[in-house]
Amino acid sequence: MADVGLSRGLTNYGDRAFSLYLRRAFAQSMGFSDAMLERPIVGIATAGGGFNNCHRTTPELVTAVSRGVLAAGGLPLEFPTISLGEPFLTPTSLVFRNLMAMDVEEMIRAQPMDAVVLIGGCDKTLPAQLMGALSAGKPAISLVVGPMMTGSFEGERLGACTDCRAWWARYRAGELSDERIRALESNLATTAGTCAVMGTASTMACVTEALGMSLPGAATPPAVHAERLRIAEATGARAVALAHDGLTPDRIVTRESVENALRVLFAIGGSTNGVIHLTAIAGRLGIPLTLEYFNAISATTPVLVNLKPVGSAYMEHFHAAGGVGALLRELAPLLHRDTVSVAGETLGERLERVPAYVGRDVIRSATEPLVERDALVALFGNLAPNGAILKAAAADERLMEHEGRAVVFADLADLAARIDDPGLDVEPDDVLVLQNAGPIGAGMPEAGYLPIPKKLLARGVRDMLRISDARMSGTAYGAVVLHISPEAAIGGPLAAVRSGDRIRLSLREKRLDVVLTGAEIAERLRGFAQPPVPSRGYAKLYAEHILGAESGCDFDFLTRDPGRRTLGTGRAWP
Ligand code: FES
């Protein structure tokens, strides 16, 4: 019998016929007929659960995918993997992305499936699923759960979670009472689905469609829109075709499709987390994505999508305006048209079919961009020899050429203890510096969006230059430099900065520097010792194998790029 369906990957007892006989006997216990058990198997990887509000619609998506699989002649078999509900994980969801990727990879490989549908969407789940599926190497197709719809409060439209931050900042500034901020809370995230703005989940959904790993049009339909279920059914049907064709992800995710995805990441004004995830995804197939290359693509890609936090609209509007298809057509001259998607067609073929309607208030034309170029920029300099990231499109332009006095917080606890201290010596032109919040230092939390000190909020200050080795939520905004590498916890130059030092940012020169000589930095770091590695479990694995932000924070033994460097022997997280 051909090595497909149930006969795939049999346990070896030394008697192949018996192995299959045994497996079929147990499969029969689920009530499947012989005819069903002869079909190609489509695994449906789910990541739902009580700790993941974004994935609340997973059961109905599974039903729709299964319908598509059955109609196309396959046998759908759902299987769970771990789930990463962004707000419910400590120390950070990023810490567990690689764990989920390993779970996905191993379960795809270990179980007898001919193709797999990956149902996910909340920030880290989608990259984890893609990373795992790319490494597993079986035909795979992504189905995102889709974005939330917006809500409203006192006549203003609200969407998780750019508005969470904007209103919280107003609350911190004393503009909102306790009662009103509590009333607002129940209107920020009002439906199933992922965050309603161009946060990390939306960014990765668009990037995934641009990579070719989901069906055309799959990124943007809201979670509660009927189109989401139709796409789920079509995804199931297409998975059966993939099982027959053997179209594996390595033929879809190529240097060219990664570049297309990078163009889309910039054109949507996407999340800085997208840089880390796309680097890790590409790394699974040995496709290098250096920060220098990243800058070259960013410098030639306009921002066209007017969504929060860079612009003003929400994902439901992007969908109604034409979604990723309309955007791709605007970007067409910049794209590789011969890349192939899971739909089995080239991008060029897709673009010939894209309907003409484009909502111009949300998707700008290439001749009238929202921002001409450089949405996201990699910075280098004596503070970031291996690079740092700045979401220039979402920052106060005034701060993009800036020199200011450093106000240093040694770690997250220090930040929490002192940021609102009335005695804190801080002025609007100062630079807030957070240390020890990188991958080793603290699991790289989304803490790079340091709060503006209350005493400055009260003076009307709404943006300051803030720098750290942490990440930032894709829903956040401001003059925030992130992912500084090497990080402070492994003795990067960031660890040498002291309050009162002068920090210089130049977007024009793409540099981030502290006004210190190399010798002064070295002297301050003399005797620096990394904290010890945890003694057991996943924390130990993480600490020993995590790569830097510029390498996508994958584990060294999971990436296909042997040149990547682990961060060393620091602790995983406090
Ligand atoms: Fe899941 Fe924002 S919390 S996408």
Place of tokens 């060393």: 568
Please state whether 391 falls in left (phi above 0), alpha (psi between -120 and 50) or beta. Answer: beta
pLDDT band for position 208 (cuts 50, 70, 90): very high
Cα-Cα end-to-end distance for the chain:
53
In the chain, % of residues over pLDDT 90: 88
What's the gap in Å between 201 CA and the centre of ligand 1? 6
Distance 231 CA to ligand 1 centre (A): 21
Give 442 Cα–ligand 1 centroid separation in angstroms: 20
> What was the pLDDT predicted at 397?
87
3-state secondary structure at position 60 = helix
- Pocket mutation for ligand 1, best pick of 164, 191, 195 (most atoms within 8 Å of C-beta): 195
Which pLDDT belongs to residue 95? Answer: 97
* CA-195 nearest atom, ligand 1: 2
**Is the pLDDT confidence value at 97 over 50?**
yes
Is residue 563 pLDDT above 90, yes or no?
Answer: no
Nearest CA residue ID for atom 1, ligand 1: 122
Q: What's the pLDDT band for 445 if we cut at 50, 70, 90?
A: very high
For 349-384, b/e burial (b = at least 16 CB within 10 A) is ebbeebeeebbeebbbeeeebbbebbbbbbbbbbbb
Spell out which residues line ligand 1, taking CB within 6 angstroms: 54, 86-87, 122-123, 194-195, 199, 201
Mean of pLDDT values over 552-566:
78
196 C-beta neighbours (distance < 10 Å), count: 34
pLDDT of residue 570: 39
Cα–Cα distance measured from residue 91 to residue 536, given in angstroms and rounded to the nearest whole number: 17
Please give the Cα distance from 205 to 220 (Å, whole number): 8
**Residue 66 C-alpha to ligand 1 middle, in angstroms?**
25
User: Which fold does the domain 39-149+191-353 belong to in CATH?
Assistant: Rossmann fold (3.40.50)
Say how many Å lie between the CA of residue 140 and the centre of ligand 1. Answer: 23
Sheet hosting strand 75-80, strand order edge to edge: 75-80, 41-46, 115-120, 140-144
Q: How confident is the model at residue 291 (pLDDT cuts 50, 70, 90)?
A: very high
Which residue has its alpha carbon closest to ligand 1 atom 3? Answer: 86
Nearest atom (ligand 1) to Cα of 161: 2
Q: How large a percentage of the chain has pLDDT more than 70?
A: 97
Q: In this model, does residue 329 exceed pLDDT 60?
A: yes
The CATH T-level fold of domain 379-524 is Glucose Oxidase; domain 1 (3.50.30)
Cβ atoms of residues 106 and 138 within 8 Å: no
CB contact at 8 A, 420 and 443: no
Between the CA of 206 and the centroid of ligand 1 the distance, in Å, is: 15
Q: Would you list the domain boundaries of the chain?
A: 39-149+191-353, 151-185, 379-524
